[in-house]
Structures are given as structure tokens and as C-alpha cells.
Amino acid sequence: MAFHAIILTLYPEIFPGSLGFSLAGKALAKGLWSYETRQIRDFAGDKHHSVDDRPAGGGAGMVMRADVLARAIDTTPADYPRFLFSPRGQVFDQRLARQMANLEQAVFICSRFEGVDERLIKARNLVELSIGDYILSGGEIAAQTVLDSVIRLLPGVMGNHDSGLLESFDNNLLEYPHYTRPQIFENEAIPPVLSGGNHAEIAAWRQRQAERVTKARRPDLFRRYQKQKKSDLGQK
């Protein structure tokens, strides 16, 4: 099943951008996913191709017009989930990435300026997404970030299926530390347990390390991990 993305943007030339390289680029060439961009200005009704106007009530900046964006959105299939990148949206995480990887298609709307007319968001049932607590100039980089996260989870994209199963944020833990050759680097050796060949001991060590790193760096995640762990124990 290939994943298809329709991207509404003022800057279609930005795509595929980083998505044309590495895993995403190879998957694009293989047909494991596809995309098309649509220039929002093409749906403007005036000779200047205006897509924004002054905010009602006054204030700084400009707001993307509901009528222009509605015409652009209405050219996409009605059954496609529609995501709008917005700082006030639900924070995108690994759980959402896995959910999106089960979709066959989606529409991604890259907003600009101060935002989008609220009436459009409600009228077209847009799901607002944020990639973090900071502001970008527009949704294009956010779209590439989300798509990269989703594409790598599609069947056949990663050579080793297990690579997508044991990663940071799965099970509310950050990933354990990684090592490879040389055996000794600047007087520090690879932890002996990783060279011992005992897979049960290696798994236990990695679990402990994941818990240690998460507790130190992301106490919020660690609290969720502990809560989920207690819940899982209670169900057994």
C-alpha cells in the first residue's frame, strides 16, 4: 500500500526537498509513497493572486483567507484526512506518526503569515498539527518533518523491520546508547556486555540504559513510562 500526500503550499518548489534523499528519496523512487503539490495562489480570485488580508479587529501581520484556501482544499478528495500546520495544534509525536503510517493518503496544508481564518478550520474539519513549541515562517518545513517521520515507518522503507520497532519515544522511553567499531575510542571501550554475546543480558542492559537516559533527560516521558508500566502490571 503506497502512501499519497497532497500538499497545499505557497512554495511548491520547496518539495520534495529533504524528502528526495536517503530513505524517503529511495522510497519515493520505488513508489512506496508519492506526493503532489498545489499552489494556493492558483485559487485566488483577483489579478494579484492575493491569499491573505488584514486581520479583523486589527493587529499585526496578515491572515490567510478562508475563501481562497477553501477552493484549494475542495479540489482534494473529501475522504482524505486534512492536516493544517499550526503552532496551536496537537503536538506531533511518534504515536501519531505510526497512526499516519496506516493511512493511504492525506492532505497537508502549509499555512503562512499569522495563521488561517478560523471559519475555514471549522468548515473543512482541519486537524491542526504542531511539531513543537516554536514558530516557523511557514508549514513547509513542518510538512517535510512529519512526512519524513511517517514515510520511514511505511512497509518496505527501512531495510531492517526491527529498526522501526525499537526507537526513541516508543513505550515512552528514549533510546538506549549505541556503539560500534572501533572497540576502543580515545581510551574508552565499548561496554563489555555488548561484546559478550548474551542476548538476554544485552536486552536487559539496553532497557536499564533507556530508563536511565529518559529519567535524566525527559522526566515527563519517564513519568508516563512509569504510569504505563504500573498499568501493564495491573492488567496481568
3-class secondary-structure state, position 128 = strand
In this structure, the number of other CB atoms found within 10 A of the CB of residue 204 comes to 12
Instruction: Supply the pLDDT for residue 167.
Output: 65
What is the 8-class DSSP label of residue 116?
B
Strand partners, 64: 52, 116
Please, how many CA atoms are within 13 Å of residue 84, restricted to the half-sphere of its CB? 23
Instruction: Supply the pLDDT for residue 166.
Output: 56
> The CATH number of 166-235 is which of 3.40.50.300, 3.90.1300.10, 1.10.1270.20, 1.20.140.10?
1.10.1270.20
At a CB cut-off of 8 Å and minimum separation 6, what does 228 contact?
171, 172
3-class secondary-structure state, position 181 = coil
Instruction: Supply the pLDDT for residue 163.
Output: 58
Task: Parse the chain into domains and list their residue ranges.
Answer: 3-151, 166-235
| pLDDT values of the chain reduced to their tens digit, one per residue, 236 residues | 799 999 999 999 999 999 999 999 999 999 999 999 999 999 998 999 999 999 999 999 999 999 999 999 999 999 999 999 999 999 999 999 999 999 999 999 999 999 999 999 999 999 999 999 999 999 999 999 999 999 999 999 997 655 555 566 878 999 999 999 999 999 999 999 999 999 999 999 999 999 999 999 999 999 999 999 988 877 76
Phi, then psi, of 202 in degrees rounded to 5: -65, -45
Classify domain 3-151 by CATH number: 3.40.1280.10
Instruction: Supply the pLDDT for residue 160.
Output: 63
Phi, then psi, of 230 in degrees rounded to 5: -65, -40
